[in-house]
Amino acid sequence: MIFPAIDLKSGKSVRLYKGDFAEETLIEKTPVLQAQKYQAAGIKCLHLVDLDGALKGTPQNETVIKDIRKVFTGLIEIGGGIRDLTRVKHYLNLGINRVIIGSAALFDPEFVIASLKQFGADKIVIGVDGTDELVAVNGWLDTSDTKMGTLISKMEQAGARNFIVTDVQRDGTMKGPNIELLKKLKGRFNNCNIIASGGIRDIKDVKKLVAADLPDMVVGKALFEGRLTLEEISEVNGNAG
């Protein structure tokens, strides 16, 4: 399945270049209109990111998130600033289908274990973002000493099965996904769902990922620039069932 991304900052939909908050492009002043457009096009799933939440460590765009949930009937996953069980439960109670845990997976693994135990692996996605295969944290402002594969291994042992893997250096660049990294991680963690993110340019990249047994992916800039169309996404998702 292809998940179109809506990145939220100060109540608006934006895109960043390589996660740099100084390189921001406004996509839509009213993100709910974006969600309605996707709904009308037959899109069945959305990837939301609370960028302010990722920076501040607590969710910041809840009103917009609630409004999007009201108009979009498909699956919604959300990440950004989710660092305790109360917030996970709150989002799930709002009708969000899956919650993405990012930095906290590295800093507070006990929280992830508790989330998986309480809500189940289908409701929890681990966001593994990296630069040169090292885990990036705190809204990608910092890089840890932990390898992406090491974090996935620990989270798999904790019971996680869904991982969004983002190459920070590819995100928003339109340079293509880091297929070699993704294939390596998929081969190592064959029982996990590795969701590709970062750099996907067009339907050719989508087909390359599907052929590499990586059918789930998040797209952003390619969609906004028209290199990947909503019709193409709907067709791929329809074929995926």
Which positions are catalytic? 7, 129
Task: State the amino acid at position 167 in one-letter form.
Answer: D
Point out which residues pair with 197 in neighbouring strands.
166, 218
Residues paired with residue 135 on neighbouring β-strands, in sequence order: 130
Bridge partner list, 125: 100, 162
Q: Which residue blocks in the chain are alpha helix, DSSP H?
A: 31-40, 51-56, 62-71, 85-93, 103-107, 109-119, 148-157, 179-188, 203-211, 221-224, 230-239
Helix (H) or strand (E) holding 104: helix 103-107
- Round to whole Å and give the CA distance between 241 and 161: 20
Whole-number Å distance between alpha carbons of 121 and 158: 10
The two structure tokens encoding residue 173: 């660049």
Q: Tell me how far apart the alpha carbons of residues 238 and 59 are, in angstroms, rounded to a whole number.
A: 32
Q: Helix, strand, or coil here: 173?
A: coil
